[in-house]
């Protein structure tokens, strides 16, 4: 993985995590948002793969990560209430 790909993944994760935190009314710092956004990308890809949906490009990556991050935050709120 090149440095450009790593930086792009971090930026997508940060954007998706920040938007998901805002949508889900969750508080967290930049590092938490990046981590949630990156893991959300895996979760979103898995969920969309199960139902046969595929997005491409930067906007698709952000959308997939965003939805996955929202799922993670929702599950976290249920588990750690």
65 with 10: CB under 8 angstroms? no
Q: Please report the pLDDT score of residue 58 as a whole number.
A: 87
Q: What is the pLDDT of residues 44-61, one digit of tens each?
A: 989 999 999 888 888 998
- pLDDT exceeds cutoff 80 at 36: yes
Task: Select from 4, 20, 24 the least CA-distant residue to 64.
Answer: 20
CA atoms within 13 A on the CB side of 68: 27
- pLDDT exceeds cutoff 80 at 18: yes
Q: Check: pTM over 0.95? Answer yes or no.
A: no
**How large is the average pLDDT for residues 65-74?**
93
Mutual angle of helices 3-23 and 30-51, in 10-degree steps: 90
The pLDDT-based confidence of 1 (bands split at 50, 70, 90) is: confident
| Domain segments of the chain as ranges | 3-79
Q: Please report the pLDDT score of residue 80 as a whole number.
A: 87
């Amino acid at each position: 993985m090149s440095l450009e790909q790593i930086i792009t993944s971090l930026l997508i994760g940060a954007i998706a995590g920040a938007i998901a935190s805002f949508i889900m009314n969750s508080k967290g710092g930049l590092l938490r948002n990046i981590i949630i956004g990156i893991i959300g990308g895996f979760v979103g890809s898995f969920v969309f793969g199960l139902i046969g949906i595929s997005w491409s490009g930067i906007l698709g990556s952000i959308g997939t990560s965003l939805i996955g991050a929202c799922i993670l935050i929702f599950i976290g709120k249920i588990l750690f209430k």
